[in-house]
Structure 1
Amino acid sequence: MPVTATVLPGFDSPDLLPWLEAADATLLDLLPFGVVRLDRAGCVTAYNAYESERAGLRPATVMGRPFFSTVGICGNNPLVAGRYAAEPRLDALLDYVFTFRLRPVPVRLRLLQAPEARHAWLLVCRRAPQAAA
């Protein structure tokens, strides 16, 4: 069944992975959260408008590049990148802080992949910074 823009899934939608797998770049750009689609080697194959705007990186500059070693280096650790290697079936939420360009950015990540899926997915939802106590 083709996906349409009439009902866009949310960041926490339980059936998000099949929707993402069927969506084209135009639909990914409509989502109100960041979407990074990775091939099985970890290279970027889609980078939606939301993530491009927030990160300040044009999709053309990240396409085909290894995400965790050249684009999202702050996620190249056991908590994020390591999960994709260790867990063939993955649907995990993680509160995280990107240290992009030395400016901490609190985010909630959703890590998605499944053996039957063609891609791995890194979803990014910005969080409000927590006030100091």
Structure 2
Amino acid sequence: MSKLAFNQPDLLSAIDAEPAEGLDQLDFGVIGFDAETAVTHYNAFESQAAGLSPQRVLGQPLFTLVAPCMNNFLVAQRFEDAAESGTALDDTIDYVLTLRMRPIKVKLRLLAGAQRGTRYVLVQRA
């Protein structure tokens, strides 16, 4: 297993191929979700940083129960737009997380393939 980097090219393919144990070794958060926004991947880094156990998050709707602070045009809407148009998504944005914590500046990388089922929000904390 090679170490994946938050800003590496073609990261979507690499994350899709990485087993859960490998995702748990990363130094940034990985939240994967399906077309209905149910969380399918939640790595150890994100669990510890957000204070939410995988058992509490997996299977739950990302944008309404897990991270409603991302249910807006900057994050959730980009995934919807990409899905509707059948295009891939790979955007990195500066963001402020606010739910259940003091505001924290992060970088989010939004990844979705044109034909892939799993989409990802990657969270890099400073």
Percent identity reads 44
Q: Distance in 2 between matches of 1:47 and 1:96?
A: 19
| 1:110 to 2:105 alignment | no
Provide the alpha-carbon RMSD of the alignment: 1.0
Deviation string 1:77-120 (CA, Å, 9 cap, x unpaired) is: 01000100002310000000000225101100000001232300
Residue in 2 that maps onto 1:131: none
| TM-score normalised by length of structure 2 | 0.93
Q: Deviations over 1:47-81 (max 9, x none)?
A: 00000000000001000000000000100001000
Change (3 A) 1:102 1:27: closer
Moved over 2 A (4+): none
Kept in 2: contact 1:21–1:117 (CA 8 A): no
Paired residues in the alignment total 122
Within the candidate set 40, 50, 53, 1:55 is matched to 50
Q: Tell me which structure has the larger Cα radius of gyration.
A: 1
Which of 20, 25, 30 is residue 30 of structure 1 equivalent to? Answer: 25
2:64 partner SS: helix
The 5 Å alignment of 1:2-21 reads 5=1, 7-21=2-16
> TM-score if structure 1 supplies the norm length?
0.88
Rounded to whole Å, the distance in 2 between the matches of 1:113 and 1:69 is 19
Contact 2:82 2:114 in 1 (8 A): no
**Partners of 1:21 and 1:118 within 8 A in 2:** no
Match of 1:120 in 2: 119
- State which of 82, 91, 114 in structure 2 corresponds to 1:87: 82
Q: Within 2, Cα distance between the matches of 1:101 and 1:17?
A: 28
- Matched residue type, 2:104: V
Instruction: Name the SS of the counterpart of 1:30 in structure 2.
Output: coil
Contact 1:39/1:118 (8 A) holds in 2: yes
What is the rounded CA distance, in whole Å, between the counterparts of 1:39 and 1:87 in structure 2? 14
